[in-house]
Amino acid sequence: MSNIIYRRDTCRLCGSKTLSLAFSLTPTPPANAFIKKELLDKTQETYPLELCQCKNCGHIQLLDIVNPEVLFKNYLYVSGTSDVFVQHFKNYAYETISEYEIKENSLVIDIGSNDGTLLKIFKEKGMKVLGIEPAINLANLSKRNGIETINEFINIEVADQILKQYGTANVVTANNVFAHIDDLSSAMKGIKNILSEDGVFIFEVSYFIDVLENNLFDTIYHEHLDYHTLKPLTKFFELFEMKIIKATRVKTHGGSIRVAVKNNHESFDINSSVYDLIRLEESKEIYKIETLKDYSKSIDNIRLSLVDLLKKIKKDDKTIAGYGAPAKATTLMYHFDINQNIIDFIVDDSEHKQNLYTPGMHIPILSCEEIYKLHPDYLIILAWNFAEPIIKKHSEYISMGGKFIIPFPCPAIIDRN
């Protein structure tokens, strides 16, 4: 086994070895492997991006796993830098407290707690909170934000330590991390261990139906090992004597699902949303490998239209910059070969990414103030899930004659407010 990457041969949810290749994307470096200027002369390794489907349970997944220590021990995505996400987490916390009647002083544990944005809201509502965050920089940031945080990956051993020190939790959350864990069984055993008998486990994760319908192939990268749909997840939780009781579609990351899970012995009604989404998945024929192969053809069509648009702009001697340096931009730029010859620079709101260079292609990342100093003719919004607030925030850029390009679900130019 390589210290950096290894390949599994079993389904992450059901353990079956009957796996089929759906399609391959261009190999990339790890999507968040931004580098400093002094490292520009070093070549960054690229690794396979092959989407596979389990013939037994239908789960869609990557089998090539980059060492999580490489991916997550220092992490540049910070939840609290986005006003959209702060508001999302406020609504999330308030709805959880109301719907599941969470009392003051109840313990709430967040797996992959990032900078503590969600837990801060629970804490303000009188809950005891604990974050589990593997990234050293984010765990330290969370602590500075007043959130008690353990700097670890969740597994059975870590869960046992939590149980001894803190007891069981009434609520365990895991947002945008349930697709990141290779050994989901170990993580789930740990989560079940720290969840009280009548507690609720809630997680949000990108929904593959949205990836399919909106052509969001760029959300496929090494951190995202799993591309979840509900039907395989119901079977997975049955292995832990747990049941999905509710599943709600939410708008985050271009389309996600919020899933609530409880211990099997509890008396509860299963919300109709669970059955509705499974029926939707079956109607979309998501569990047929042919559907995924057809999807790869639609990706090729977007590539043709977007690359043709960008090349035409460059041919007219216009300048193009990027807005946002999210992880998904790495997949987009590599698979579509959108390189330094097309994009001159990228701006990003996060100071954690400014003055760094993009993975592999080494395009400089600057502050948003540079838009008004360097005056690019076009800004392609690589952080497309925030397109609306970005355009609203930078109406002055449009007033100056600038134009935005939104790549998905199909390329479009925005030149007015």
- Assign 111 to helix, strand or coil: strand
Q: How confident is the model at residue 24 (pLDDT cuts 50, 70, 90)?
A: very high
The DSSP bridge partners found for residue 366 are 347
**What is the tens place of the pLDDT at every residue in 224-246?**
999 999 999 999 999 999 999 99
**Contact criterion met (CB below 8 Å) for 231 and 252:** no
> Is the pLDDT assigned to residue 170 strictly greater than 70?
yes
The pLDDT of residue 71 is 82
Length in residues, the chain: 417
Mean pLDDT of 32-43: 92
Mean pLDDT for all residues in the chain: 93
- Name the packing angle between helices 272-283 and 230-238 (round to 10°): 130
Report pTM.
0.90
| Element housing 26 (H / E) | strand 19-28
State the Cα–Cα distance between residues 75 and 138, nearest whole angstrom: 7
d(CA 256, CA 328): 15
Q: What is the pLDDT of residue 104?
A: 95
Q: What is the dihedral of CA 36, 39, 43, 46, to 10 degrees?
A: -30
Strands laid side by side in the 107-111 sheet: 149-150, 128-132, 107-111, 169-175, 195-206, 256-263, 242-250
Query: How much is the pLDDT for 291?
Result: 95
Average pLDDT over residues 168-179: 94
pLDDT tens track for 293-342:
999 999 999 999 999 999 999 999 999 999 999 999 999 999 999 999 99
pLDDT band at 417 (very low <50, low <70, confident <90, very high): low
**170-191: burial string, b at 16+ Cβ within 10 Å, e else:** bbbbbbbbbbbbbbbbbbbbbb
Mutual angle of helices 230-238 and 184-194, in 10-degree steps? 60
pLDDT at 2: 55
Q: What is the CATH number of domain 79-289?
A: 3.40.50.150
Closest CA relative to residue 50, chosen from 37, 60, 35: 60
Instruction: List, for residues 197-218, the tens digit of each pLDDT value.
Output: 999 999 999 999 999 998 889 9
Question: Tens of pLDDT along 134-158?
Answer: 989 899 999 999 999 999 999 999 9
pLDDT at res. 1: 42
pLDDT at residue 214, rounded to an integer: 87
- Write the pLDDT tens digit of every residue in 336-389: 999 999 999 999 998 889 999 999 999 999 999 999 999 999 999 999 888 999
What φ, ψ does residue 337 adopt, rounded to 5°? 55, 45
H helices present in 284-408, as ranges: 289-315, 328-336, 370-374, 387-393, 395-399
Distance of alpha carbon 287 from alpha carbon 417, whole angstroms: 41
Q: What is the pLDDT of residues 243-275, one digit of tens each?
A: 999 999 998 877 899 999 999 876 778 999 999
